[in-house]
Amino acid sequence: MSLFTSPPVLRTAARFVARFGPRRISFGATVLVFRWADVADVLERDGDFRIAPVNAGRIEAVSGPFMLGMDRSAALYKQREAVYGAMHAADKAPVAALLANEPARLLGAALAKDGSIDVVNGYARLVAARVAAAYFGIAGPSEADLMRVARAVFQETFLNLGGDKTVEAAGIAAGRELTGWIAAERAARLARGAPGADVLGRLLALEQAGLISGDEAAHMLAGLLVGAIDTTATAVANIMAEIVADHALQQAMMRDVDDAPRLAGWCWEVLRRRPHNPLVLRQAIAGASAAGKPVKAGARVFAITLSAMQDGRVFDDPKRMDPGRPPLLYMHFGRALHACAGRDINAIQIPALVAGLLRHGAGRRSGVSFAGPFPDKLVVSLRSPT
């Protein structure tokens, strides 16, 4: 990471652009919008700024149609009803048990071993994978396989905006593995006559009721699962990278470690500094306008959420960390029609993972290293919890 792409430099630049820069910058068939109101407007006017031209092709090639690649349509509404219904009805007790016990167990083992832990692959990514397997119902042949496949599919479907062919091939191959696991688990459950109480089980119940097809159930489950693991791991890594570099911030968060709503507010504020998703891409239709000016049909519109969340018009004194800001101001998990389906789980999971590290006095041991676009290693020191 160079000086010019470091998080402090990027957020300072984002704050400057939000305050003093133009509302938008256009070059060729590309438009960038920076202010909170303009970014929110683009994301909320999904009829003018479409997601299907951006995501649908890659998502469908990897694991089949999913609502994050669909514009408003009967198919989208059907998926949303099925997905949110299945997630609401699924048994969340295994998730609660994992989050109550697994972070402390991993931290305790790491403390006893050598007093340090890798926040990504030794902690957050492991817990997120275990939560995903328990909640969604697909574990893969091994935990390592589940994490590998989820990352490859996520990178291709949501991050490969430049069309890298190596990333594409890896994502499509991983998607075949994932859909094969889902098909095998679905067949086994149907043969046993026991759909299960997890998200897969609830989708199978809808299939048995004739409300969705088997293919639709598989597409929905694949789409939900792939974003669950690395979104969580990246968010936790970004939050901890900021905490261990800022002693005053760590102390402030530690004072609220047992206040779940306030700790969640701290996490969203830290992510505002260093978001896991600094921009969102849409494609304009004919007649659309952004930031007060017309946009050419087919233009790629980048809604810069990093600068939007540094906009002093909405975030009073944006340099100041305030865990009491209204949650609806944040754009960490999308907005409007295409908000992340897993945002409610992450609102519990991310603060729980951060709380464990705070209680163990996580201290700076190394910087963040990356595997492609993903934070892949962040080693912190630990001490006995107080």
Q: What is the DSSP string of 233-250?
A: HHHHHHHHHHHTT-HHHH
Is 3-381 a domain of CATH 3.20.20.140? Answer: no
Integer CA distances (angstroms), 115 to 100, 188, 362, 376, 381, in order: 21, 43, 10, 19, 6
pLDDT tens digit at each of 386 positions of the chain: 444 468 999 999 999 999 999 999 999 999 999 999 999 999 999 999 999 999 999 999 999 999 999 999 999 999 999 999 999 999 999 999 999 999 999 999 999 999 999 999 999 999 999 999 999 999 999 999 999 999 999 999 999 999 999 999 999 999 999 999 999 999 999 999 999 999 999 999 999 999 999 999 999 999 999 889 999 999 999 999 999 999 999 999 999 999 999 999 999 999 999 999 999 999 999 999 999 999 999 999 999 999 999 999 999 999 999 999 999 999 999 999 999 998 899 999 999 999 999 999 999 988 899 999 999 999 999 999 97
What's the pTM?
0.96
* Residue 308, both tokens: 């939007």
* Residue 99, both tokens: 């989050």
* Residue 173, both tokens: 């191959």
